[in-house]
C-alpha cells in the first residue's frame, strides 16, 4: 500500500489542497457559511433573539456541507429529499466513527456518486473544466490506468474521497469547538476579537476571506487553539520501510512509530 498511498497523497496535495484549488472552492465555503449563519439568525428571530444551539453539531453540519460539495459536487443536507436525508444520516454516523456499522452503506453511497460522475463525464464536452469536484479529478487521473498496489481505480477513488471527508470534518469540527469554548471562557479575548472585527470589517457586511489578512488577533486565536488543542494529538501510525538511524538510535525496518505532535 506504500506506493499507492504516496501517489494518492501527491494527488490530494496538488488537486485538493493547493492554493489554486482552495481559491477555486471559496464560493462554496462562502455560500455554506452564510447559509449556516442565516439558520441561527432565523431561529433567533422566532425566539425573540434567544436561541440555544449545539455548536459541535452546527460546526459538523457546516463542514460536511462544504466538504461533500467540494469532494462529490452534491448538496449534503436537503430535508425535503429522502435519499439525501438518508445520505446525511449515513455520513454523520461515519464521521462519528461508527465505521464498521456504516461501511457497507457508505460504500454504496460512494458507488452511487461515482457512477453518476462517470455518467456525467461521458456527456461532458470539456472534461478538464475548473468546475470539477475532487471525484472528477480523481477519475481524470486514475481511470483506465495501472495503479501501484494492485487496487482497482474505483476502490481507490471511493476510499480516498471518503478518507478526505472523515479527516476534514472531524479535525475541523474539533478545532472550531475548542476555539469557541476557549473564547467563551476568556471574555477579554472574545471582546478583543469582536473589536477587531468591528474595526476592520464593520457591522454592515459579512466577513470575507479576504479580510483574514487584516484580522491579526483572530489569526493569533486560531494559532493558539491549534497549539493548545491539536485536533489529532498523535499522528496516524507510521512504519519504517528500511533500517535507519535517527538521533543516534537504531530503528529497524518495520518499526511502528507514533508521533506526538
Position 168 pLDDT exceeds 90: no
Tell me the helix, strand and coil percentages in the chain, rounded to 5: 65, 5, 30
Domain spans in the chain, listed from the N-terminal domain onward: 2-184, 186-230, 234-261
Helix (H) or strand (E) holding 238: strand 238-239
> pTM of whole model > 0.75?
yes
Helix axes 153-184, 2-15, angle to 10 degrees: 60
Helix (H) or strand (E) holding 196: helix 187-200
Q: Please report, for residues 7, 46, 173, 219, 254, the alpha-carbon distance to residue 55 in angstroms, rounded to integers and kept in the order given.
A: 36, 19, 9, 21, 42
Domain 2-184 has CATH 1.10.630.10: yes
The secondary structure of 16-36 as a DSSP string is TSSHHHHHHTHHHHHHHHHHH
C-alpha to C-alpha distance for 37 and 41, rounded to whole angstroms? 6
What would the mean pLDDT of 164-168 be, rounded to a whole number?
85
Residue 146 has what pLDDT?
65
Per-residue pLDDT of 172-226, as tens digits, reads: 998 999 999 999 999 999 999 999 999 999 999 999 999 999 999 999 999 999 9
Cell output for 116: 453518476
Higher pLDDT, 113 or 94: 113
Position 3 pLDDT exceeds 90: no
Indicate the DSSP class of residue 246: E
Phi/psi at 103 (5° precision): -55, -50
Looking at the DSSP bridge assignments, the partners of residue 257 are 238
Amino acid at each position: 500500500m506504500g506506493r499507492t498511498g504516496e501517489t494518492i497523497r501527491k494527488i490530494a496535495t496538488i488537486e485538493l489542497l493547493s492554493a489554486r484549488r482552495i481559491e477555486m472552492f471559496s464560493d462554496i465555503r462562502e455560500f455554506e457559511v452564510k447559509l449556516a449563519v442565516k439558520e441561527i439568525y432565523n431561529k433567533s428571530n422566532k425566539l425573540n433573539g434567544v436561541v440555544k444551539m449545539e455548536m459541535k453539531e452546527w460546526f459538523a453540519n457546516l463542514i460536511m456541507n462544504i466538504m461533500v460539495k467540494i469532494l462529490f459536487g452534491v448538496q449534503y443536507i436537503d430535508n425535503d429529499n429522502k435519499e439525501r436525508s438518508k445520505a446525511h444520516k449515513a455520513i454523520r454516523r461515519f464521521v462519528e466513527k461508527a465505521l464498521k456499522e456504516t461501511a457497507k452503506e457508505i460504500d454504496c453511497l460512494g458507488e452511487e456518486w461515482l457512477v453518476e460522475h462517470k455518467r456525467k463525464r461521458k456527456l461532458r464536452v470539456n472534461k478538464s473544466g475548473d468546475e470539477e469536484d475532487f471525484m472528477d479529478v480523481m477519475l481524470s487521473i486514475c481511470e483506465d490506468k495501472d495503479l501501484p498496489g494492485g487496487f482497482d481505480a474505483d476502490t481507490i477513488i471511493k476510499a480516498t474521497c471518503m478518507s478526505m471527508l472523515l479527516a476534514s470534518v472531524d479535525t475541523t469540527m474539533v478545532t472550531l469547538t475548542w476555539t469557541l469554548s476557549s473564547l467563551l471562557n476568556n471574555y477579554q479575548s472574545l471582546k478583543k476579537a469582536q473589536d477587531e472585527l468591528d474595526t476592520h470589517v464593520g457591522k454592515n457586511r459579512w466577513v470575507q476571506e479576504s479580510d483574514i489578512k487584516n484580522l491579526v488577533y483572530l489569526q493569533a486565536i486560531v494559532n493558539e487553539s491549534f497549539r493548545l488543542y491539536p485536533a489529532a494529538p498523535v499522528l496516524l501510525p507510521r512504519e519504517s520501510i528500511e533500517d535507519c538511524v535517527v538521533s543516534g538510535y537504531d530503528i529497524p525496518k518495520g518499526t511502528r512509530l507514533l508521533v506526538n505532535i
